[in-house]
């Protein structure tokens, strides 16, 4: 399969993730959207790595996965913290700061 | 393995070890036992500072991805200063706000680890990892007041937009890797120069995505929306830390990636950054005028200052690069001092950051009012303070390279910004105190930190040549 196909898929996933961050109205889904964006980037890295015939791209993916896990841990902890204050997962419920 | 392989990372190791020791100290602390945990943090930071001074001029390199050139060491020293001042001011706030001391100082130190690595890294992947190390620790620091909804909310907004921007940054790295086959900044520069890639859509996309990522981290317009919210909701001293440390580290990496790695493409990205810098200076100043919360006002002021630094980056000459380093040092001292005072005046229940809270401060806390005045004058760029020299240096660099537009916008916006700094000063001296409770007395350690920051600000304002020389030496070794 040519490189272009992978890149188009990666771009689509990235766009879906971006749209999700702006459009979805649930804190957990917002986190999932960001994870989707990171995984779209992973796909691009693997595809580029294959094109260059080097393992770099695949190794980078492991680093990114680790970072994503750390981010998810902090993000979920913050969601729990927010939920304790308002018993809601709707971002509109949290408006004590001006957006 | 040669003995010198770890040399370049010694400052980072010092801070990491201090962070681990702090965590262990907290774990073995008996309930109610008082431990000087902040002292441990300062020891680690002093160790990192000493290591950075010893490594000066050595150009040590570790693992082909981390360097200790003078540029990175200069930034390290600024970060050590930021760290020590933050810890010193925290002596007043940690007990008052009942923060978990161990976690607080450990996160502070781990954030500094990430910041130092950002300045020292010579590989885009390592820069990304450093950026995340720093950011994740700072997200936690922002939300460390779990009892306050505002703090948690600020942390989540910062986290969400931060993670969002990180993925743009990473996507940019992916495209640059795809085009050049490497993530090493130096090899990338050679690869780009060798095959003249101007106009290649993939590399332009990569550069654009990197700009988005960096612009977010330095809070440049139009990616600044998160910063007033995050700055307002975070505990005040953390705000001071974020607005100086995070900015310094992000700018350091920005300079290295764009003026070294992507230097061959300068004709493509300089116009974009020109507009970003100009918009950042203008928006930061104009919106800042309308704020009534001191923390929000200083958040916009910090956006505007980021704009001045970006202007120096657009100039990109040796004078411009030295101006960036000088500006980072001057701004760190001044801004931390100002936020330190706001943090000290706060109480557990309220941050006391409304403009009205400063009415008549001169009558209750003459010393703090004087210090605040001097820090605000430095932020506004009055002589004989560090802020004046820093701005003068940036604008003279811009004029020296023919960027008259940027210099004019910069001077005009800093004239407007004087309005909101002086508004606070007028409030402190010329308004009568209304019936508000008198703020608590100041912890002597915190007061010592404030005075030290002030001495630094005045020293850099009166005798700047030494630091300017150092800044010039620092940039001559790498570019």
Is the Cβ of B293 closer than 8 Å to some Cβ of chain A? no
Residues of A within an 8 Å Cβ radius of B:
14, 17-18, 21, 27, 30-31, 34, 37-38, 40-41, 44-45, 47-48, 51-52, 54, 56-57, 60, 63-64, 67, 70-71, 74-75, 78-79, 81-82, 85-86, 94, 96-99
Cα separation of B289 and B421, whole Å? 9
* Range A87-98 average pLDDT: 72
The Cα of B184 is separated from the nearest Cα of chain A by a number of Å equal to 11
Residues 6+ apart with CB under 8 A from A33: A16, A17, A18, A19, A20, A21, A24
For A43, nearest residue in chain B (alpha carbons): B174
* Range B84-105 average pLDDT: 88
Tell me which residue of B365, B380, B354, B351 sits closest to B438, measured CA to CA: B365
Bridge partners of B121, per DSSP, are: B66
For the record, the structure tokens of B81 come out as 């200063």
8 Å CB contact of B143 and A45: no
Compute the C-alpha angle B248/B46/B247, nearest 5°: 10
The Cα of A20 is separated from the nearest Cα of chain B by a number of Å equal to 11
The Cα of A63 is separated from the nearest Cα of chain B by a number of Å equal to 8
Give the pTM. 0.93
Q: What pLDDT, on a 0 to 100 scale, did the predictor assign at position A96?
A: 66
Cα separation of B336 and B333, whole Å? 5
pLDDT at B146 over 90: no
Q: Is the peptide bond before B384 cis (omega within 30 degrees of 0)?
A: yes
For the record, the structure tokens of B131 come out as 């950026």
Count helices and strands (H / E) in chain A: 3, 0
Q: Do residues A34 and A21 lie in contact, with contact meaning Cβ atoms separated by under 8 Å?
A: yes
Which of A13-17, B56-60, B72-76 has the least mean pLDDT? B56-60
Q: Do residues B419 and B344 lie in contact, with contact meaning Cβ atoms separated by under 8 Å?
A: no
Cα separation of B291 and B94, whole Å? 27
Cα separation of A46 and A69, whole Å? 19
ipTM higher than the 0.85 cut: yes
Compute the C-alpha angle B103/B117/B473, nearest 5°: 130
Contacts of A51 in chain B (CB under 8 A): 178
Q: What pLDDT, on a 0 to 100 scale, did the predictor assign at position B435?
A: 60
Residues 6+ apart with CB under 8 A from A60: A45, A49, B125, B177, B183
Which of A46-55, B219-228, B425-434 has the least mean pLDDT? B425-434
Is the Cβ of B142 closer than 8 Å to some Cβ of chain A? no
Q: What pLDDT, on a 0 to 100 scale, did the predictor assign at position B476?
A: 77
Domain ranges of chain B: 7-476
> What's chain A's Rg over C-alpha atoms?
17
Report residue B1's pLDDT band, with 50, 70 and 90 as the boundaries: very low
* Range B26-39 average pLDDT: 81
Q: Do residues B397 and B323 lie in contact, with contact meaning Cβ atoms separated by under 8 Å?
A: yes
Q: Dihedral of the CA atoms B469, B471, B473, B479 (nearest 10)?
A: -150
Cα separation of B126 and A76, whole Å? 25
Which of B151-155, B166-170, B229-233, B471-475 has the least mean pLDDT? B471-475
């Amino acid at each position: 399969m040519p490189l272009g196909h992978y890149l188009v898929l990666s771009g689509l996933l990235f766009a879906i993730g971006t749209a999700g961050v702006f459009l979805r109205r649930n804190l957990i889904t917002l986190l999932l959207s960001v994870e989707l964006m990171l995984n779209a980037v992973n796909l691009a890295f693997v595809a580029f790595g294959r094109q260059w015939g080097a393992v770099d791209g695949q190794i980078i993916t492991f680093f990114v996965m680790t970072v994503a896990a750390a981010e998810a841990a902090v993000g979920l902890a913050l969601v729990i913290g927010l939920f304790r204050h308002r018993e809601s997962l709707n971002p509109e419920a949290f408006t004590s700061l001006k957006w | 393995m040669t003995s010198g392989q770890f040399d370049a990372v010694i400052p980072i190791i010092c801070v990491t070890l201090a962070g681990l020791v702090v965590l262990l100290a907290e774990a073995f602390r008996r309930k109610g036992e008082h431990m000087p945990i902040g002292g441990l943090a300062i020891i680690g930071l002093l160790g990192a500072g000493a290591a950075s001074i010893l490594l000066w001029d050595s150009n040590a390199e570790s693992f082909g991805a981390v360097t200790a050139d003078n540029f990175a060491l200069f930034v390290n020293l600024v970060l050590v200063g930021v760290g020590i001042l933050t810890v010193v001011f925290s002596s007043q706030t940690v007990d008052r706000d009942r923060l978990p001391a161990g976690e607080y100082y450990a996160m502070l130190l781990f954030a500094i680890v990430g910041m130092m690595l950002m300045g020292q890294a010579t590989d885009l992947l390592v820069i990304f990892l450093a950026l995340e190390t720093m950011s994740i620790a700072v997200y936690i620091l922002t939300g460390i007041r779990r009892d306050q909804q505002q703090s948690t909310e600020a942390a989540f907004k910062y986290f969400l937009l931060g993670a969002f921007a990180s993925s743009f940054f990473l996507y940019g790295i992916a495209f640059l890797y795809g085009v050049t086959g490497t993530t090493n900044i130096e090899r990338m520069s050679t690869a780009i120069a060798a095959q003249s890639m101007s106009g290649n859509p993939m590399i332009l996309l990569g550069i654009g995505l990197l700009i988005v990522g960096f612009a977010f981290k330095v809070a440049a317009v139009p990616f600044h929306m998160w910063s007033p919210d995050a700055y307002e909701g975070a505990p005040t001293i953390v705000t001071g830390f974020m607005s100086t440390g995070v900015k310094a580290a992000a700018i350091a990496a920005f300079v290295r990636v764009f003026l070294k790695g992507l230097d061959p493409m300068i004709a493509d990205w300089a116009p974009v950054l020109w507009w970003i810098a100009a918009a950042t200076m203008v928006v930061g100043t104009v919106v800042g005028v309308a704020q009534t919360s001191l923390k929000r006002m200083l958040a916009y002021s910090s956006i505007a200052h980021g704009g001045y630094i970006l202007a120096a980056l657009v100039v990109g000459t040796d004078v411009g690069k030295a101006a960036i380093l000088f500006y980072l040092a001057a701004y760190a001292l001044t801004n931390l001092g100002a936020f330190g005072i706001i943090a000290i005046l706060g109480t557990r229940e309220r941050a006391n950051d409304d403009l009205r809270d400063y009415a008549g401060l001169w009558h209750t806390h003459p010393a703090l009012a004087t210090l605040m005045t001097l820090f605000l004058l430095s932020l506004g760029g009055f002589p004989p303070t560090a802020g004046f020299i820093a701005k003068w240096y940036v604008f003279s660099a811009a004029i020296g390279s023919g960027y008259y537009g940027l210099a004019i916008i910069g001077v005009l916006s800093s004239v407007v910004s004087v309005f909101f700094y002086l508004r606070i000063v007028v409030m402190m001296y010329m308004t009568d105190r209304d019936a508000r409770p008198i703020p608590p007395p100041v912890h002597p350690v915190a007061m010592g930190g404030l005075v030290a920051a002030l001495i630094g600000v005045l020293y850099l304002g009166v005798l700047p040549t030494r630091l300017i020389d150092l800044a010039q030496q620092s940039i001559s070794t790498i570019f």
